[in-house]
Structure 1
Amino acid sequence: MTVALVPEVDLSAVVAEQPDPLVFATVSGAHLYGFPSRDSDVDLRGVHLLPVEGLIGLREPEETRSRMWDRDGVEMDLVTHDLRKFVRLMLRRNGYVLEQLLSPLVAHTSEAHAGLVSLAPHVLTAHHAHHYRGFAATQWRLFEKSEELKPLLYTFRALLTGIHLMRAGEVQAHLPTLVGEVAEAPAYVPELIAAKETAEHGPAEVDLARVRRDVEALHGVLDAAQAASGLGDAPGAHDALHDFVVRTRLERTPRTARTS
């Protein structure tokens, strides 16, 4: 397991407790973004694989499972989607699920996970900029209301991820890395990251006028990066992902059940 940022929790045990096999489970949220606090919760995200009868019977399938609880003194937030639903989300302009899929903080992986990762570049489009633009706007409104550091960092993270994606065709969610990759990133962002280490909901001690100008400028940079992006207008992996979902589901279904 490559997750070293949350040593207080045995994530492999959490994975083993799930009712259906997991294709993958990764850590998202502040740990992935590079600015966890001492009291940050652990956002575990992944894909579960329902049996065929769970999809074709009369009962509504559990396509999404969500649970929050305290484990070993750490707040856990677990969300998994069935493979079919997750792939459908991938085919939309949903950067969030791609960040989960491509997260380097891996609690559980599989051959199917690797296969899904290999298809991820083919679903990237210039329209993913809308996801990051919208997410940044939502976090900015939260910042204006609360003046807390967390939503401000989320604002910068979303804008810089979007800019980098439009330019490099790569999903990069780690804010300290993005500061080095995106030339227009404000020079004071590392100081904000360091300040968040002590408290999850601490105030943002910043020049509000300056921060507002910088956020507005980054929106303009994102707009320009989208206009100049070499990414296409539509995902190009629909058929390949369809085949992948069918193949993965059948491989997990006992042969006797398929031939009876």
Structure 2
Amino acid sequence: MFEGLTEEAASEIRQRLDSVRAEGCRIGFAVESGSRAWGFPSPDSDFDCRFVYVRPVRQHLEFRPRRDVIEFPIVGDIDTGGWDLRKALLLALKGNAVIVEWLKSPLVYEEEPDFRDRLSRLLEEIMQPQRVARHYAGLLREHAPERDLKEVKLKRFLYAVRPAVALQWMSDRDFSALPPMNMLECLEGASVPQNVRDEILRLIALKKTSREMGEVSLPSCLRHFVAQTDADYAGLGSRFKADGDDEAARFAAAELFYRLEVERT
């Protein structure tokens, strides 16, 4: 399937996906998320399989509503979970970047022919990059280290660097496009100072040879880049205004897509 995936892990993930289908659900796609897909895995990184599923019409007619997520216990290094398509679309309308990141993942476990293409065309229509930028600004604020910290967990710090780079990539394009999922690809297209770029690449190379929870000393240029980006985009929500008519049109497009996909199941 992809480099680094063991046959044991692949078999376990296949069994889990098969159990979802046994419930009558259709799986649109299943991909790798997390650090492996972002481009900075560790030797002991988990396999984070994420999938989007569609329930059949008959389950929508049940009196007791079903959960909109399917989760499996984390066993060893295998973490598997999925979202109902309805949940994915509702979050996409709000600007949550997760579903578009899954869609862009280069590491695919399985997919239904044409499903990702259909969903991609819809997301281009209904997702507003400005709202996605707010999502990344929130991630940056959540993971940014305190200013006076000299050493941090490498994994957590890269979780702050990733949205900072994504915001710069989007800002370079006037917040009119959605960034790549892979941070190396995103970094390539972002106007980041060369010394900051070099330090990011150094930390990524370090993470690929160290354990998940290893600590690292932060160079001042990188600490400043993350802190300044956090400050620059903290009030991002006030810069963009919603259009009521556009909101209704985007919701209607998502609703139609969802109904058609349910009818296919």
Map residues 169-248 of structure 1 onto 2, 5 A cutoff: 169-184=177-192, 186=196, 187-197=198-208, 198-207=210-219, 209-219=220-230, 222=233, 237-248=250-261
2:39 maps to 1:29: no
Counterpart for residue 257 of structure 1:
none
2:10 maps to 1:6: no
Give the conservation status (yes or no) of the 8 Å contact 1:125–1:232. Answer: no
Deviations 1:181-231 (A, max 9, x none): 112251310000011112111101223x443312123235657999999x9
Give the conservation status (yes or no) of the 8 Å contact 1:93–1:128. Answer: yes
Measure how far apart 1:109 and its partner are.
1.4
- Name the % identity: 23
Counterpart for residue 97 of structure 2:
95
Deviations 1:1-50 (A, max 9, x none): 4x334244224454333232211111110011100011000111111111
Deviations 1:60-117 (A, max 9, x none): 31211112333xxx51111211111111111111012221122222212123332111
Structure 1 counterpart of 2:200, one-letter code: V
Aligned to 1:147, the other structure's residue is in SS state strand
Map residues 60-75 of structure 1 onto 2, 5 A cutoff: 60-70=65-75, 74-75=76-77
TM-score of the two chains, using structure 1 as the length reference: 0.82
Structure 2 counterpart of 1:129, one-letter code: A
Aligned counterparts of 1:106 and 1:172: Cα–Cα separation in 2? 16
Aligned counterparts of 1:219 and 1:35: Cα–Cα separation in 2? 21
Aligned counterparts of 2:130 and 2:144: Cα–Cα separation in 1? 22
Alpha carbon RMSD of aligned pairs, Å? 3.0
Aligned counterparts of 2:260 and 2:211: Cα–Cα separation in 1? 45
Aligned to 1:188, the other structure's residue is in SS state helix
Aligned residues: 246
Aligned to 1:25, the other structure's residue is in SS state strand
| Candidates 112, 126, 131, aligned match of 2:130 | 126
TM-score of the two chains, using structure 2 as the length reference: 0.81
Aligned counterparts of 2:181 and 2:161: Cα–Cα separation in 1? 11
2:73 maps to 1:76: no
Aligned to 2:225, the other structure's residue is in SS state helix
Indicate how the Cα distance of structure 1 residues 33 and 132 shifts in structure 2: closer, same or farther if over 3 A, else same.
same
Q: Which runs of 5+ in 2 are unaligned?
A: none
2:177 maps to 1:164: no
Which one is further off, 176-185 or 26-35? 176-185
Structure 1 counterpart of 2:84, one-letter code: D
Measure how far apart 1:177 and its partner are.
1.6
Structure 2 counterpart of 1:178, one-letter code: C
Aligned to 1:91, the other structure's residue is in SS state helix
